[in-house]
Amino acid sequence: MRYLPLTSDDRRAMLSAIGVADIDALYENVPMEARRSGVVDLPLAQSEMAVERAMNAFAARNVTAGSVPFFIGAGAYRHHVPASVDHLIQRSEFLTTYTPYQPEIAQGTLQSLFEFQTQVSELLAMEVANSSMYDGSTGLAEAMLMACRVTRRNKVIFSGGVHPHYLETAKTLARTAGLELVACAPAIDGESAVLDHLDAATACVIVQSPNVFGTLSNLSPIAAAAQAKGALLVASFTEAMAFGLVEPPGAMGADIVAGEGQSFGNALNFGGPYVGLFATREKYMRQMPGRLAGETIDADGRRGFVLTLSTREQHIRRDKATSNICTNSGLCALAWTIHMTLLGAKGLAATAQINHERALETADALKGLAGVELLTPRFFNEFALRLAKPARGVVQAMADRGVLGGVAYNRLAPHAGLKDVLIVTATELTTDEDIGALRGALAEALA
């Protein structure tokens, strides 16, 4: 029996109290193309055993990342996660932790967050990091809002290399916050195009390196030009592994850095839960969203940990909050920290080097094929190809041959054109056999 405790009169009274005519009015800010019309195409009721059989049948249609040659990236990456990571995070004292409101009984949780922040700061070459965000896209959107608070301006400029999903997330917040958002056209190698729109009303310019096409860019000139106009440079990323080998955004003058940390400790998981990394300059620390765990000394002179800053609606008045994020990704952040600790600086650099070498080998194997042009001029472990056929059809043809050969750009940005662009990613898990299989499948799909 369905549990429907409210009567029609109850619903009418509630709608009247909030001043709307009907339930549809509650969804007026959701774009029509994002709404479902009608019910989901599933049986209205089944037994638990029947549902389990049906879901297992659905799952059996999936191709798991480790079962075939895998070159998908574009924001979520397949890396080796040591078995010890999963073992450690499943210890009961970690698995059941919650918000550390009472430091006297949450020292372990607070210390793990403190260590996470330290590692994020060092990886990104920034002065201070928070104790994580939901994911890279929401973290970048929060960075946009933070920049507007710091500068007291409302214009933000996105480069054409920012991941389209991150841009769409930011657009949602910009629309509700009344910000002016300028998005540059998609560009393989054009992060500096943001400067064409820079003026005295600009709060920040937002760039990405490596960008969604894999291109590495020198952000220093962009940072200098933006800061000369009183704007901030916000740097985004989707592949945190890159900073084991390439110059991090903080070293190139970024004021705020926000992106995805999934590459460490967190396996591919249908889009989440993942872990957002967020760091900034110390002078902007009080405008940073989320929580900040700090180190202190207790009454007996012993080292201890506390929530130093927590300017969120759970802790202070909602109108004073820097963010309405209701929690940090604590368990995912812990997995990140354990993985980074196991790697260490040398292990991180060595793994990143293997990623780069595998990508070079993959690109070399493909760029000689008929109908294939390498577009990305400088890359870490991800690059874009222009194909002689629409990329989505080629991806499907390769999948039919047992190879997950990449991501079509127009799947990420359906209205942006570039239907012939394929994004390919190689990691430390890519083998010579995988590269050979990709080359053969791509050649057949293009023939």
* Residue written as token pair 């109108």: 319
SS3 track for 43-68: CCCCCHHHHHHHHHHHHHCCCCCCCC
Question: Within a domain: residue 19?
Answer: no
Query: Which positions ≥6 away from 446 have C-beta within 8 Å?
Result: 369, 370, 371, 372, 387, 388, 389, 394
pLDDT-derived band of residue 263, with 50, 70 and 90 as boundaries? Answer: very high
Please state the domain count of the chain.
2
Domain shared by 274 and 407, yes or no: no
Domain shared by 225 and 348, yes or no: no
Question: Within a domain: residue 216?
Answer: yes
pLDDT the model gives residue 377: 97
Residue 93 has pLDDT above 80, yes or no: no
Question: Within a domain: residue 33?
Answer: no
Residue 104: CATH number of its domain: 3.40.640.10
Question: Within a domain: residue 224?
Answer: yes
Residue 32 C-alpha from the chain's centroid? 25
* Residue written as token pair 């780069």: 356
Residue 427 has pLDDT above 70, yes or no: yes
Question: Within a domain: residue 42?
Answer: no
Domain shared by 265 and 218, yes or no: yes
Domain shared by 270 and 409, yes or no: no
Residue 226 has pLDDT above 50, yes or no: yes
Question: Within a domain: residue 21?
Answer: no
Cβ neighbours around 49 below 10 Å, total: 8
Contact 166, 304 (CB under 8 A): no
| Residue 323 or residue 246, greater confidence | 246
Characterize 134-154 residue by residue with b for buried, 16 or more Cβ atoms within 10 angstroms of its Cβ, and e for exposed: bbbbbbbbbbbbbbbebbebe
| Residue 252 or residue 108, greater confidence | 252
Residue 156 has pLDDT above 60, yes or no: yes
Domain shared by 236 and 132, yes or no: yes
Name residue 120's amino acid: V
Across 1-15, 230-244, 321-335, the highest mean pLDDT is recorded for 230-244
Task: State the pTM of this model.
Answer: 0.89
pLDDT the model gives residue 312: 58
The stretch 310-326 carries a mean pLDDT of 65
Domain shared by 258 and 366, yes or no: no
Instruction: Single out the residue in 307, 340, 373 at which a domain terminates.
Output: 340
Instruction: Report the percentage of the chain scoring pLDDT > 70.
Output: 95
The stretch 309-327 carries a mean pLDDT of 66
Domain shared by 158 and 264, yes or no: yes
Question: Within a domain: residue 170?
Answer: yes
**Burial of 175 per CB tally in 10 Å (0-12, 13-18, 19+):** exposed
* Positive or negative: CA dihedral 116, 121, 123, 124: positive
* Interstrand relation of 155-158 and 128-129 (parallel, antiparallel or unpaired): unpaired
pLDDT-derived band of residue 2, with 50, 70 and 90 as boundaries? Answer: low
Contact 184, 164 (CB under 8 A): no
Domain shared by 262 and 117, yes or no: yes
Residue 17 has pLDDT above 90, yes or no: yes
Domain shared by 364 and 322, yes or no: no
- How high is the mean pLDDT of the chain? 93
Alpha-carbon distance values, 360 to 216, 217, 255, 357, 380 (Å)? 14, 18, 31, 5, 8
pLDDT-derived band of residue 44, with 50, 70 and 90 as boundaries? Answer: confident
Residue 350: CATH number of its domain: 3.90.1150.10
Range of the domain at 423: 344-446
pLDDT the model gives residue 1: 47
Instruction: Single out the residue in 340, 364, 395 at which a domain terminates.
Output: 340
Strand partners, 309: 292
Question: Within a domain: residue 18?
Answer: no
Instruction: Single out the residue in 340, 366, 381 at which a domain terminates.
Output: 340
| Residue 151 or residue 313, greater confidence | 151
Shortest CA distance to 158 belongs to which of 132, 112, 191?
191
Domain shared by 132 and 263, yes or no: yes
Q: For the segment 334-376, what is each residue's pLDDT rounded down to a tens digit? A: 999 999 999 999 999 999 999 999 999 999 999 989 999 999 9
Strand partners, 306: 294
Residue 101 has pLDDT above 80, yes or no: no
Domain shared by 372 and 329, yes or no: no
pLDDT-derived band of residue 121, with 50, 70 and 90 as boundaries? Answer: very high
Domain shared by 350 and 334, yes or no: no
pLDDT the model gives residue 88: 93
